[in-house]
Amino acid sequence: MNKSRTYAGIPEHLATLERAEVVLLSVPYDGTSTWQKGADKGFDAFLEASENMELYDIETNSEVYEKGVFMPEPITENASPEKMVEQVHKTVKQYISKNKFVTIFGGEHSISIGTIRAFSDSFKNLTVLHLDAHADLREEYEGTSCNHACAVYEASKTTNLVQVGIRSMDISECDAMDTDRVFFAEQMIYDDSWVDRAIDLMTDNVFITLDVDVFDPSIMPSTGTPEPGGLLWNETIEFLKKVFNEKNVVGFDIVELCPNPLNKAPDFMVAKLYYKMLSYKFSKPDFDEYLVHDVAHEDTKRAENKSEPIKSFDDE
C-alpha cells in the first residue's frame, strides 16, 4: 500500500496515530474461503470507493472524518489460520489499549475470531452483534477452528452473542445456536419488532461483526457466498443507528467484500456503510431525541395502563 494514502483521502494530519480517534485495520486474509475467492481484494476496493464519497453526512449533520482515521500496516500473516487469528488478536488489543475506536476490515470472516477475542478481553459483559446470512457456529471446519464457518463459535461461548439476518446453516450448528438470540431473515420480513427485541437482548458494550452477505444479493452481489432473502439498505441502517444510539458500540468489523471490477456499486455501498457507522458512533445527534421519544413513549404507556382498557375483539 502507498504509505501516503489515507482513508477517504483525508488530510495527512488527520491520519496519524497520535491525532486519530479511529483506527482502521485491514486484514486482507482469504485463506479459508470455500467458494468464490477475492475477499483479500475487498479493502482496496473499499478504500477506492471511500475516496470518491462525500464526507458530509446529511442525516447526522456531521463530518466524522475530522475525528481522524489512522490506517496501520495491513495484517498479512497467512502461515496458518491460527497464526493470522493470533496476530489480529494481538494487534487489535494493542490499539484498544491506546484508547482508539478500533475498526477492522476483512478479508473473510475468520479474521473476526481474532477481533472478537481482543474486544472480549478488553470490555466487560460484551455483546457481539453478528449480522450475517450464515450462522458461522461450527466448532471446526476443514480441520481448523479458525475457518470462516466458525467465525462466531467462540463468541457463542465467551460473549453475549446476538445474531441477525441468518438464513443459511448446517444442522450441526443447531447445538451451538441459542435460538432466543437469533433473528432469522425469514421472520424479520413479516415482523419488524425484531429491532427492539434484538436491542433488548444486548448488554451495554456491543461489538458489531458484519458480514456483507447479510445484505440481499440484489444490492450486495460482491461477496463470496451470496444468499437470497437478505436485508436492504434502509432497514439495516435504521437498525444500526438505533444500536449506536442506545448502546456503547466499542468497535466493529466488516468482512467478506469480494469486489467485482465491473460493478462498483457494492464497493461504494460498503464504503458508505462504514462511514455511516462512524458517523453514528461519533455524533449521536438523535440521542436526546431517542431519550425524549422513549420517555414520551413510557408516559403514553403509563397513561394507557391507568385508563380503562379499551374493549377490543382480541379480548373476547
Count of positions on this chain that bind Mn ion (CB under 5 A): 5
Q: Which of 111, 88, 105 is nearest to 48 (CA)?
A: 105
Q: Which range of residues in 20-28, 68-76, 110-118, 212-220 is near Mn ion by CB under 5 A?
A: 212-220
Residue 130 interacting with Mn ion (CB under 5 A): no
Give the residue, chosen from 41, 117, 134, 167, that forms a contact with Mn ion under the rule CB under 5 A.
134
User: Shortest gap between Cβ of 132 and Mn ion (angstroms)?
Assistant: 4
Site for Mn ion contains 253 (CB under 5 A): no
132 touching Mn ion, by CB under 5 A: yes
**Minimum distance of Mn ion from residue 211's CB (angstroms):** 4
Q: Does 173 bind Mn ion (CB under 5 A)?
A: no
Nearer to Mn ion, 154 or 211 (CB): 211
Q: Which residue is nearest to Mn ion (CB)?
A: 134
Least CB distance to Mn ion at residue 226 (A): 9
Q: Interacting stretch for Mn ion, rule CB under 5 A, among 61-69, 133-141, 174-182, 305-313?
A: 133-141
Residues between 60 and 119 that touch Mn ion (CB under 5 A) = none
Looking up cell 440481499, which residue turns up?
A: 216
Least CB distance from residue 135 to Mn ion, whole Å?
9
Q: Which of these segments, 38-46, 55-63, 195-203, 213-221, binds Mn ion (CB under 5 A)?
A: 213-221
CA-to-CA distance for 244 and 226, rounded, in angstroms? 27
DSSP per-residue codes, the chain? --TT--GGG--GGGSSTTT-SEEEEEE---SS--S---GGGHHHHHHHHHHTS---BTTTTB-GGGG-EE-PPPP---S-HHHHHHHHHHHHHHHHTTT-EEEEEESSTTHHHHHHHHHHHHSTT-EEEEE-SB----S-BTTBTTSGGGTTHHHHHHSEEEEEEE-B--GGGGTT--GGGEEEHHHHHH-TTHHHHHHHT--SEEEEEEEGGGB-TTT---BSS--SS-B-HHHHHHHHHHHHHHSEEEEEEEE-B--BTTB-HHHHHHHHHHHHHHHHHHH-TTHHHHHHHHHHHHHHHHHHHHSPPPP-GGG-
For Mn ion, the closer CB: 84 or 133: 133
Residues written for the chain: 316
Mark the segment that binds Mn ion (CB under 5 A) among 46-54, 192-200, 203-211, 280-288: 203-211
Q: Cα angle vertex 7, ends 5, 9, to 5°?
A: 65
Q: Which stretch binds Mn ion (CB under 5 A): 4-12, 84-92, 114-122, 129-137?
A: 129-137
Under rule CB under 5 A, residue 211 binds Mn ion = yes
Select 14 or 176, whichever has its Cβ closest to Mn ion.
176
Are 185 and 230 within 8 A, CB to CB? yes
Query: 16-55 mask for Mn ion (x: CB under 5 A)?
Result: ----------------------------------------
Stretch that binds Mn ion, among 42-50, 55-63, 170-178, 210-218 (CB under 5 A): 210-218
Q: Which of 40, 108, 154, 213: binder of Mn ion (CB under 5 A)?
A: 213
Q: For binding to Mn ion (CB under 5 A), which residues are involved?
A: 132-134, 211, 213
